[in-house]
Amino acid sequence: MIFDLIRHPRLGLIPIATVSLMLAYDGRAADNVDFVRDVYPLLQRSCFECHGAQKHKGGLRLDEREAAFQGGDSGDTIVKGKPDDSELVHRISLPKGDHDVMPNRGEKLTAPEIEKIRTWIAAGAPWPDGVKPAKHWSYVAPVLPAVPQVPDPGANPIDAFVRARLITEKLQPAPSAEPHVLARRLYLDLIGLPPKPEEVEAFVRECAGEKDNETIGQSDKEKVARTNVSLSQSPIVSLSFPNTQKAVEHLADRLLASPQFGEKWARQWLDVARYADSHGFQRDDLVDLWPYRDWVIRAFNADMPFDEFTIEQLAGDLLPNATEQQHVATGFNRCTMCNVEAGTDPEENRVNQVIDRVNTLGMAWLGTTLECTQCHDHKYDPFKQRDYYGLFAFFNTTELEADRKNPKVPGSIQFLGPYMKVSDPPEEAESNQLTREIADTKAQLAKKTAKLTAVSTPATKTAGTEEHVLTPTDFESTGGANHKVLDDGSVLLVGDPPNTDTYTVTVRTPLKNIVGFKLEALTDPALPGMGPGRGDPLRSNFVLNTFAVTAAAADHETDAKPVKLTEARADFSQTGWDVNGAIDENGKTGWAIAPQFHRPHWATFRAAEPLANDNGTVLTFRLVQEFGTARTIGRLRLSAITGSYPAAPQPPKDDPELRRLNARLADLEKQQKALPALRTLVMNETTTQRVNAIFRRGDFRNPGDPVEPGTPEVLHPYREEGPRNRLALARWLVSRDNPLVARVIANRLWAEIFGEGIVSTPEDFGIKGEPPSHPKLLDWLAVEFMDHGWSQKKLLRLIVTSATYRQSSRETPELRERDPHNHLLARGPRFRLSAEAVRDNALAIAGLLDLKQFGPPIRPPQPDGLWAKVGGQKYDYIVSPGDEQYRRGIYVVIKRASPYPSFVNFDATSRPACRVKRTRSNTPLQALTLLNDPVYVQAAQAFAREIGADRDSGPNDVNTKLEHAFRMAVARAPEPGEREILHKLYDSELAATGKPGEAWFSVASAILNLDETITKD
């Protein structure tokens, strides 16, 4: 772009447009610049980091009058009455990226802010004695401001506040968007789904005040032309569509009551809550937390007051007579990551989780970067390190969530929970019935197998052969696994399974003439998929690489000698993993049992010579399991065989009844696995009294002064009675006296609608954050929010029924230059949909979207191998069956180490921490995703079938179908040029393939890839 240039005495050649803008601001600011109100806060926000009390870069200090006028190494910083000779003005006016610009980090001062400093210096730089910065606006409780008196304000106070600012800025509001645009905007904003063409048509009719059955076959522009009214008229009332306000209100009410409302708005809160379906870090095992996600959706649909919404998530378990759902709500603070990598210090992990909860509290409710105060007092905001650890103390009373399975083994840390069973009567009844049927079928199978074995191998039970269960006197696990010895002498492994393990089992027995041993790998309800393996609920295999035994006389235990094993037999061995591999000298071979999972197995091992000791024998069994991926035995029982060593019984494999029972068992187990897990992670208090102290430099190993649970002094006083616990903290947080919470939440709701908040830094309402573009509007919204019962739906309705919201999003050249980010709200919102909404939108347009709600996470198609990992439990990514894979994006599984890739391409995160604002990028990967990702390919195929369906036949059939497709995707008819391009695409594809279906697929894919399709306008 070429600019006309003018020479500035300090800046050299600069664009005339910039000078004009500066002059415009100078005219407004000259008479009312106040140092305390207007200048000192700018210095505080942008300069004190490098030139404040703690740091004096370039020899310059700007937080005190004498030091500021003394200047720095570069000379006079502030020359009274001469802004053009002042180094401060020179530095702050340099373009961003210049080596000498101030500030050299973060956002540069805006033109109005620079002009305030210039005007102040030009007036002699008055700096009153004893100046102290006024209390930052965000730490002063909001009061309801008077609604500005402006011409044609409309009925919605929001418009009066916005109009007042536009008048000051000498800007006109944009005209109202066309009704079809408003319909689509409302649908996407309130339920996150596009409207159907007939829904758009009904809305346009209502806007026009039409009550007949007129077909909306013409564009809204044509309707405007017919009524001889220009769209450039006032956005408050459009004469061409006189009933627009009422139509918007009716549609807003209907969408706010839709079950899909909660699914749309829960997504934003789940970013804040850092919700995911795995506990993160390198191990990153899956956890059951989805009932909390469902609780959030239900809370939004029910319009739960935000104060209650807060209390139940932070302290639902501490409420009197807390309900199950109030316990479920505490999953909010169980969304924090949990490190169970080998070697992790459990206490360090616990402290890090508490720190995350404090940081999340600050970001989610206070719009504050509290994490700075973990190590020292906040450099900019009035928060002290003592404040941080006062909040820390409220959360320092919950149960340990990960601990070592074996205190002697540093690498044996395991995830503990705590989990709470969630009731679901229909599914519980079904699960109990399946459990009974499985047990009955297993009993029938065992009985039939025993009968067939006795008939087919009558000589296996040799006379004198006896089996004697050996009860362990000691059990060790190199992987640190915990265990229980059950009444039947078996050993059940409990807790999180290690990747590999070796069991050492010691027994004492008076038996003589021991000719062999029997190992049973048993099933158990506590094991994944019933076992017998521990690593995978679907493929519950194990690999026993080595089975070895040593024996010693009871009175000479130190003289143990290996028992030579000469033969091994099993009821079943996996192909390539014969049981004899467990007693050879090759550590890579071993015994495994795929595909016969979820059932007990046994193996016998013959001793080369009988064992006999007059005073009894000490036997030590060593079971080496080094395959990895936790392919270890979950429940085992050892027996000694005396007398004659038997042959292994082998029932016939072709028995019809046996086949029927095996098939029945497999089917029942499959049905039971398909049932969702009825448990969720919750918060529980511990009876352990922990010491609360300030951590020096944030190191938990270096505690300093003791602290009690407390709240930041800069905010409202703590007046809660009773125990200082999480419940008291939550109630303090949502007190009407709190200056931040209502502002922070109102701003976040506004940002979700307009793409940017009234405070554009929702993560930082402090000194370094951006000031509100409309401070009185923000305070008015905050007070209205509280006055109307903390209702998010009421606040959203107020926003979307405003004329400000209804404005067209079209930019003018003046607006693009003056206000590229739409801070002044002189136009309507326009931005790309969120990652989840891009997918939902495509599936809805294509007619594939499944609106089934709630339940376990789904797994749509994604590239193979993404979930392969080194440590932790291995999961097979199995695409959800049937329509399950087409459910809304909020239900897609979030595995932190490997999040859903198409969501990542559209700027979703893996939710490692609280996020109150997503970035919005525009990359080639996004277009490639829309063209090639299996979900979008399937959507394009379904969309093509819908487009190509028989409609009006005849010469204009293709154009009719193209118009229908456009209306489905973007709620409007295509322009002639757009129709021509798509028609050419259809013709070229038809000529190349000769198949109308493939031609329509290309058209459908192109339409789904349009910028307009994935954008809310």
Handedness of CA 716, 721, 725, 727 (dihedral sign): negative
Amino acid at 698: G
Distance CA 162, CA 622 (A): 77
* Confidence (pLDDT) at 224: 39
Distance CA 854, CA 302 (A): 15
Distance CA 566, CA 461 (A): 20
Distance CA 565, CA 583 (A): 7
Backbone angles phi, psi at 315, to 5 degrees: -155, 30
Domains and CATH numbers, the chain: 5-134 (no CATH), 461-648 (2.60.120), 934-1016 (no CATH)
β-strand partners of 591: 544
Q: Residue 482: which H helix or E strand, with range? A: strand 482-485
Half-sphere exposure of 1017 (CA within 13 A, CB side): 19
* Confidence (pLDDT) at 130: 74
Residues in the chain, pLDDT under 70? 1-31, 211-239, 425-428, 446, 450, 453-463, 647-653, 676-677, 870-871, 950-956
* Confidence (pLDDT) at 158: 97
* Confidence (pLDDT) at 712: 96
Q: Are 241 and 300 in contact (CB under 8 A)?
A: no
Distance CA 244, CA 154 (A): 13
Distance CA 258, CA 252 (A): 10
3-class DSSP state of 16: helix
Q: Are 852 and 887 in contact (CB under 8 A)?
A: yes
* Confidence (pLDDT) at 948: 87
Distance CA 222, CA 203 (A): 16
β-strand partners of 414: 403
Handedness of CA 425, 428, 434, 440 (dihedral sign): negative
DSSP 831-865: EEPPHHHHHHHHHHHHT--B----SSPB-----TT
Distance CA 986, CA 1000 (A): 6
Handedness of CA 689, 694, 697, 698 (dihedral sign): positive
Distance CA 836, CA 829 (A): 19
Distance CA 822, CA 462 (A): 90
Q: Are 365 and 741 in contact (CB under 8 A)?
A: yes
Q: Residue 796: which H helix or E strand, with range? A: helix 792-800
Handedness of CA 816, 818, 820, 826 (dihedral sign): negative
* Confidence (pLDDT) at 230: 31
DSSP 584-644: SS-TT--B--TT--SS-EEEEEEEEEEE--TT-EEEEEEEEE-SSTT--BSEEEEEEEESS
Cis peptide before 418 (omega within 30 of 0): yes
* Confidence (pLDDT) at 651: 60
* Confidence (pLDDT) at 950: 62
3-class DSSP state of 866: coil
Backbone angles phi, psi at 335, to 5 degrees: -75, -10
Q: Describe the chain by its helix, strand, coil percentages, rounded to 5.
A: 40, 15, 45
β-strand partners of 420: 680
Distance CA 1016, CA 833 (A): 6
DSSP 196-210: PHHHHHHHHHHHHT-
* Pair type for strands 546-553 and 561-562: antiparallel
CA–CA–CA angle 603, 609, 613 (5° rounding): 105
* Confidence (pLDDT) at 65: 83
**Among 909, 802, 695, 628, which residue's Cα sits nearest to residue 155?**
802
Distance CA 153, CA 164 (A): 9
Amino acid at 547: F
Integer CA distances (angstroms), 395 to 29, 683, 728, in order: 48, 10, 12
**Among 1007, 854, 1015, 850, which residue's Cα sits nearest to residue 936?**
1007
What digits encode the pLDDT tens for the residues 807-850?
999 998 988 888 999 999 999 999 999 999 999 999 999 999 99
- Could you give the angle at which helices 220-227 and 197-208 cross, rounded to 10 degrees? 20
Checking phi first, is residue 1004 left (phi over 0); if not, alpha (psi -120 to 50) or beta?
A: alpha
Estimate to the nearest angstrom the gap between the alpha carbon of 285 and the chain centroid.
16
Q: Are 939 and 845 in contact (CB under 8 A)?
A: yes
* Confidence (pLDDT) at 228: 32
* Confidence (pLDDT) at 694: 96
* Confidence (pLDDT) at 62: 84
